[in-house]
Structure 1
Amino acid sequence: MNALDKAAWRSRLRAQRRELELPDAGAGLARVAQEWLETLDTHDAKLADTGSSARGSVCAYLAMGSEPATGPLLSALTSTGYSVFVPVCEPDFQMTWTRWSPGVSMQRSALAPVMEPVGPRFPYDQLVSVRAILLPALAVDGSGVRLGQGGGYYDRFLAGLPRKGGIVTVPLAAVVHNHEYFPSPSLPHDSLDAPVAYALTPSEHHTLGPA
């Protein structure tokens, strides 16, 4: 694999998102994500002490542009008792996490073209009982390869997550439109790419693994 392979895929997938008239995915994605969370085995959830709700925490993100809408999903999670955290861009392509809730004050990031909640920022290892991490993606395939936007923030974040036997201990799910999930191993990747265990689309969730 070389960088051109990823660049070509990203270019094609971004063009599809611009050209396709995609239906509003928010309600479907919220339903699928909640169903998926109920199926997770949480024995390996990482525990800390920052005052999370009883159901634990979910790390998610605020969708932009043509990404599957996450607003209804975040609202649904908070209404059912989860603490929802979304990323804040920090210098050197690092991320911290801040609490999201409906109506929270927002401000534009100084480092990236995104909006971020105003509030205390926590490193990941200070979050309480993280049940899952939802990741933005341009595509994901059945072997667990996630193709992101290539900005570098998530690559660095994923590389630093706790592992057991080389596997990230918290469930990782890539969020994509229905047509951006490829059941067969299809996407370019390299040894530095962290595989994900699940894909969430507005229609259903998929368990992923090596071919």
Structure 2
Amino acid sequence: MSKIVQPFPSAHGLGPAEAKDQLRRAIRAEREKRSPRALLHAAQNLAQVVGDMPQLRNVDVVACYVSRPTEPGTVPLVERLTQRGVRVLLPVLGAGLQRDWAWYTSTEDLQVRAPGRPPEPSGPTLGGEAVAQAQAVVVPALAVDTRGARLGQGGGWYDRVLAHADPEAPLVAMVFAEELYDADERPLPQEPHDVTVPLVATPSGWQRLRTTAGA
């Protein structure tokens, strides 16, 4: 496997949207370097790290997501949560990126329902507002910085869906270790609509981010 690095291409002369796109391409290229074995190991570690977070220890409902092949794996985490009685909400994408959710039932039920989408549960769907039931929300990210800036995939799905989440529910972004950026040295580009995250988890551990000191 090629050495994984933390890309930070020059954004000189670019607006935030263009800088984000450039960084997304670079991070996706780094993700492609990970072997299936490395991805499995990271997913198993993340299941333990996130599953043992104090913010998730005594909850009944967690909103999570089903990872794509090169993302930090979530299936071991979802299985771990359900084994201890937690109900897990997973995204279902409707027409035009319509926001919807359904309950996780089993890994066998998770199927790619349309090209380009991550695996989804078969339903029934519960509506976009169902995320309000979650007492913690685990969100995907391509990168996070130490001030809570989150670089998503570019569709804005989570920035919109989190408007329905319980404001008391902690948000946890999951990334690989190299995708946690020092905001003093390598701040991620942000736009006004971006939702920051208070917590980040990597395969080696989790931490609070500076946007939520004392939260």
Runs (4 or more) in structure 1 with deviation over 3 Å come to: 20-23, 39-42, 124-129
Native 8 Å contact 1:104 1:118 kept in 2 = no
Please state how far the C-alpha of 1:103 moved relative to its aligned partner. Answer: 4.0
Give the conservation status (yes or no) of the 8 Å contact 1:89–1:112: no
Amino acid at match of 1:29: L
The answer as to whether partners of 1:197 and 1:207 remain within 8 angstroms in 2 is yes
Letter in 1 for 2:183: S
Residue aligned with 1:116, SS: coil
The counterpart of 1:63, out of the listed 61, 67, 82, is: 67
Residue 114 of structure 1 and its aligned partner are, at CA, apart by 2.2
For each residue in 1:171-194, what CA deviation from the matched residue of structure 2 results, as whole angstroms up to 9, or x when unmatched?
Answer: 111110111111335100011101
Q: Which residue of 2 aligns with 1:173?
A: 172
Are residues 194 and 113 of structure 1, via their aligned partners in 2, closer, same or farther at CA, if it must alter by over 3 Å? same
How does the TM-score come out when normalised to structure 1?
Answer: 0.82
- Residues 58-112 of structure 1: per-residue CA shift (max 9 Å, x gap): 0001111111111111000001110011000012322111111334523333474
Which of 15, 27, 52 is matched with 1:13 structurally?
27
Where 1:200 maps in the other structure, the secondary structure is: strand
Identity fraction in percent: 34
Residue matched to 2:46: 29
Say which of 139, 143, 148 aligns to 2:143: 139
Mapping 1:11-160, distance limit 5 Å: 11-21=25-35, 22-23=38-39, 24-36=41-53, 38-39=54-55, 55-110=59-114, 112-126=116-130, 129-158=133-162, 160=163
**Higher relative strand content:** 1
SS at match of 2:111: strand
Shift of 1:14: 0.7
2:211 is the counterpart of 1:194: no
Give the deviation of 1:3 after TM superposition. Answer: 1.4
Q: Determine which structure has the larger helix proportion and give its number.
A: 2
| CA distance, structure 2, for counterparts of residue 88 and residue 133 of structure 1 | 15
TM-score (norm 2): 0.80
- Judged with a 3 Å threshold, the aligned counterparts in structure 2 of structure 1 residues 64 and 8 are, in CA distance, closer, same or farther, namely same
Say if 1:140 and 1:187, in contact at 8 Å, map to a contact too.
yes
Gap runs ≥5 in structure 1: 43-54
Q: Deviations over 1:33-81 (max 9, x none)?
A: 1221x24698xxxxxxxxxxxx410000111111111111100000111
Paired residue secondary structure (2:117): coil
Of 101-110 and 183-192, the range deviating more from structure 2: 101-110
Contact 1:105 1:118 in 2 (8 A): yes
Larger RCO (CA within 8 A; separation ≥ 6)? 1
CA-atom RMSD, angstroms? 2.4
Task: Tell me the CA shift for residue 152 of structure 1.
Answer: 2.7
